[in-house]
Structure 1
Amino acid sequence: MSWLILIIAGFLEAGWLVGIQKSESFTHIPYVLLAIISMTLSLVLFAIAIKDIPITHAYLVWLAVGASSIAIINHYFFQQSLSIAQLFCLIIIALGVIGLKIAS
């Protein structure tokens, strides 16, 4: 269950990055609120997850899920390019996360 909580925390990390990006220097309050809520939930879930997962593994997974999520979100919703090489690297990151879970 801790791994699922950690992955959700990683997705929420992407949520606060989108909120900050769309807030346009904190001038659009709904996006500022999205950023604050996502950031808070992400950190709370991360704190819950590290009770059962070593912090080094948890931090790597949290960061990997967040970074991968934001890359995919930016590609599909904000028309930022995602090359084949970048997609390949995202797959490697996903395999690394799966490998950490299997090895734990």
Structure 2
Amino acid sequence: MYWFILLIAGILEAGWLVGIQKSESFSNIPYVFLAIVSMALSLLLFSISLKEIPVSHAYLVWLAVGVSTISVINHYFFDQPLSLQHILCFALIFVGIVGLKISS
């Protein structure tokens, strides 16, 4: 359960990055609100996951999920390139995450 909470926290991290990017220097209020809510929920869920997951593992997973999610969002919604090499590297990150899950 805590690993799933951590996964959601990582996805929400991407939400606040999109919110900041689209807020146009905090002048577009709906995106500012998205950023604030996503950031708060992401940190809340991250802190909940720390009850059962070591902080070093949790932080690595949180960042990896956030980076992977923001890359996919940028590719599909903001026309940023995502090469096969990027996808393979993300796959290696997730293999590492599965390894951490299995070892704990």
Q: Same fold (TM over 0.5)?
A: yes
Partner letter of residue 15 of structure 2? Answer: G
* Larger deviation, residues 87-96 vs 35-44: 87-96
Give the fraction of aligned pairs with identical amino acids, expressed as a percent.
66
For these two proteins, the number of residue pairs brought into alignment is: 104
Q: Which blocks of at least 5 consecutive residues in structure 2 are unaligned?
A: none
1:56 aligns with 56
SS in 1 for 2:25: coil
Residue of structure 1 equivalent to 2:75 = 75
Counterpart of 2:47 in structure 1 is 47
Q: Where does the alignment leave 5 or more consecutive residues of structure 1 unmatched?
A: none
Determine helix, strand or coil for the equivalent of 2:80: coil
How far apart in 2 are the matches of 1:71 and 1:4?
20
User: Counterpart of 1:22?
Assistant: 22
**Local SS of the residue matching 1:52:** coil
TM-score by length of 1: 0.98
Return structure 1 stretches of 4+ with deviation > 2 angstroms: none
- Deviation of 1:65 after TM superposition, in Å, equals 0.3
